[in-house]
Copies of this chain bind each other. A is one copy, B any other.
Amino acid sequence: MRKFLSLCVVALISSASIIGQNVNKVYIPERIGEVRQEIVIPNIGDYQVLKCDFHIHTVFSDGDVWPTYRVQEAWRDGLDVISITDHIEYLPHKKYVKGDFNTPYELAKPQADKYGLMLVRGTEITRKQGVIGHFNALFIEDANAIPDDDPFVAVQNARKQNAFVLFNHPGWAVDTCLVTEFQQRLFDADMIDGIEVVNHMEYYPRVVSWCIDKKLPMFANSDEHGIISEDYTTCFRPMTLVLVEENSQNGVKEALLVGRSIAYTDNKFMSTEDLLLDLFEACVDIKMIQHSDKKNVYSCTNKSSFPFVISVNGGGKKVIPPFSTIHFSASNKKNLEITILNMWCYEDEHPVLKID
């Protein structure tokens, strides 16, 4: 507890010393301003890992903020790619806020170019949750050409623009993660390309199993309506990590279409076992530092911004915080099996790393 106190004091002393240096105008200490916090993830083989959020709102539907703010916010948060996906059908501010369905993108685009952030054009088809549901159309060309009274036609309109169609928050506001008749029809028509296993502050373990069974990529999106930094205070914001060969809109879309995504929220990761183990091995170095007849001692160094939680040979959990090292010992009678407890490759399964 004492540390918070002392931060306050250090800041205070510095600001106190600045007072009155200039009787005309004195600035209080500079604030952090425009700084991007890098989320450190080493490359995975030849793939670069892009940090993406494909579901965000603004005042143009039911969000609290102006589109340009979403770009600044994402850049500062260390993201590489965002899509602003204001609702087509839910427009509570429409008495005061005008424009068409492309306006949020067009207002945000110059800001995105300035910051070097990739802005994917998108929108959210928004019907009754638990019956039809919500679907993001991503990588579209014209949001104004998508609306239709028939939700199936609306999704078809998105498809005509080669949209990537995302099934949003299957478990939000309903008791269980069940596929409705309409959603099954979309699955049957191959009109769903990915599913959110994480939406805002919700995580749907069962949907991890769906994605594995259906071979669809997993997404974690913020669906932010308010302010990211006020919602996520002890972890990074929800992100869809996309493993790209090329840092471009095509590169991202192609990676998603073949399933190279990892959903991240609240210090946990969801994807296929292969991708999760690739990520873990790219981030964590394990090496033997002592060897004896009975047991070996290992050093485990985390080079990334994420913490990991492991169990060695079925033992108690061990946390490896970001940019940290821990030691552990293990019998040398058998191969090392490391279960990564904050990664999930099925609703009730963790990936296991085996080391000879």
Instruction: Give A residues with C-beta under 8 Å from B.
Output: 1-20, 22-32, 34-38, 40, 59-60, 63-66, 68-69, 76-77, 93, 95-99, 103, 107, 115-116, 171, 175-177, 201-206, 209, 226-227, 229-236, 265-268, 289, 299, 301, 305, 307, 309, 317, 319-327, 341-342, 344, 347-348
CA of A98 to CA of B59, assembled, Å: 13
> Do A16 and B69 contact each other (CB < 8 Å), given the known contacts A34-B326, A227-B227?
no
A324, B16: Cβ atoms under 8 Å?
Answer: no
A325, B4: Cβ atoms under 8 Å?
Answer: no
A13, B14: Cβ atoms under 8 Å?
Answer: yes
Give the 5 A-B residue pairs with the shortest CB-CB distance, closest first.
A14-B14, A11-B234, A25-B171, A6-B32, A36-B325
Closest chain B CB from A343 CB (angstroms): 10
Given contacts A35-B321, A64-B69, 5 further A-B contacts (CB under 8 A): A5-B37, A7-B234, A15-B235, A27-B201, A65-B69
B24, A171: Cβ atoms under 8 Å?
Answer: yes
Closest chain B CB from A169 CB (angstroms): 10
A6, B233: Cβ atoms under 8 Å?
Answer: yes
B32, A233: Cβ atoms under 8 Å?
Answer: yes
In the complex formed, the residue of B with least CB distance to A349 is B20
Q: List 9 A-B contacts (CB under 8 A).
A: A4-B4, A9-B307, A10-B31, A12-B321, A24-B206, A28-B201, A96-B98, A116-B289, A227-B230
CA of A234 to CA of B233, assembled, Å: 14
Give chain B residues whose Cβ lies under 8 Å from the Cβ of A226: 69
> Do A299 and B15 contact each other (CB < 8 Å), given the known contacts A5-B37, A322-B8?
no
CB within 8 A of A177: which of B25, B77, B319? B25
A16, B321: Cβ atoms under 8 Å?
Answer: no
CA of A236 to CA of B16, assembled, Å: 15
A267, B321: Cβ atoms under 8 Å?
Answer: no
Give chain B residues whose Cβ lies under 8 Å from the Cβ of A29: 10, 13-14, 266
Closest chain B CB from A253 CB (angstroms): 23
A37, B230: Cβ atoms under 8 Å?
Answer: no
B327, A234: Cβ atoms under 8 Å?
Answer: no
In the complex formed, the residue of B with least CB distance to A5 is B321
> Do A28 and B265 contact each other (CB < 8 Å), given the known contacts A2-B230, A8-B321, A10-B234?
yes
Closest chain B CB from A294 CB (angstroms): 16
In the complex formed, the residue of B with least CB distance to A66 is B64
Closest chain B CB from A21 CB (angstroms): 9
CA of A274 to CA of B4, assembled, Å: 32
A12, B202: Cβ atoms under 8 Å?
Answer: no
CB within 8 A of A309: which of B13, B95, B229? B13
CB within 8 A of A268: which of B16, B23, B201, B232? B16
Closest chain B CB from A117 CB (angstroms): 12
CA of A9 to CA of B325, assembled, Å: 13
Closest chain B CB from A2 CB (angstroms): 5
Give chain B residues whose Cβ lies under 8 Å from the Cβ of A13: 14, 29-30, 309, 317, 319
CA of A36 to CA of B322, assembled, Å: 10
CA of A106 to CA of B187, assembled, Å: 45
> Do A323 and B23 contact each other (CB < 8 Å), given the known contacts A8-B234, A66-B59, A341-B16?
no
